[in-house]
Amino acid sequence: MIKKISYKDQVYQHLKQLIVKGDLNPGEIYSEQMFANQLEVSRTPVREAILQLKHEGFVEIYNNRGISVKPISLDDINQILQARTAIEGYSVKYLTEHIHTVEGQKALQQMQNCLNETKNFLADNASHYKYMKADIEFHGIIVHFTQNTYFIKTVDQMRSKLEQITVNSLTFKNRHKDALAEHQKIFQGICSGDGQKAESIFNEHMLITGNILKTCFNAKSMAY
């Protein structure tokens, strides 16, 4: 059956996208009424959407004042990087060891398609959100190949925060071009059939990403 998307779900998706894209700034106070007026809905679905975003750790609610986007913490960055390194590091090695299977070849083709799509955003270094979607899809293919439901659920649970910190990392100078080059190295490492080599290349990518995220975090902390 075709499900009708509720106003609350539509508002939730809209506000989450604004947060992930960085269009709502931490430290600024926003009102429910402002969003209701912009989206031409009542305050009820806005309030429900905001409560869900609070539960997911995206916003803080201040009684009689409004809401504010919760800034990404250094703990968020460290814990997400640790989880990704553990789960994706294993997944990269697993895929590398199974590239000669039908499923492995299909995964490689999907990854190649992602790399080709990512190239479309190199000319526009401001397309952080679109680039991020292709970036996360590339990594998602690797994890989903394992068919490990616990890996997949864990990555899905942190997906929104992952999207948020990925957009932040892409604001770094030349990051679009550099991240694509790192993904191409991961892809080539997997195609080599050497699991340890592929995992090592992936870990290097995570180390570079972590350093950039922490640099961006420190810069924003000074700005606040």
* Domain identity same for 63 and 79: no
Give me the mean pLDDT over the 95-124 stretch.
Answer: 91
Q: How confident is the model at residue 198 (pLDDT cuts 50, 70, 90)?
A: very high
Task: Kindly state the average pLDDT of the residues 203-214.
Answer: 93
Q: Look at residue 2 and tell me if it is in a domain.
A: no
Residues 44 and 150 in one domain: no
In a domain, 92, yes or no: yes
pLDDT at residue 9 is higher than 70:
yes
So what's the pLDDT on residue 1? 52
Mean of the per-residue pLDDT values for the chain?
A: 89
Mean pLDDT across 190-203: 97
Q: Are residues 51 and 78 in the same domain?
A: no
Name residues whose C-beta falls within 8 Å of residue 42's C-beta, 6 or more positions apart in sequence.
Answer: 7, 36
The domain boundary, picked from 18, 40, 69, lies at: 69
- pLDDT value for 192: 96
- Same domain, residue pair 118 and 162: yes
- 25: containing domain: 7-69
* Whether the predicted pLDDT of 4 surpasses 70: no
Confidence (pLDDT) at 167: 82
Domain boundary among 21, 45, 69: 69
- 93 and 122 part of one domain: yes
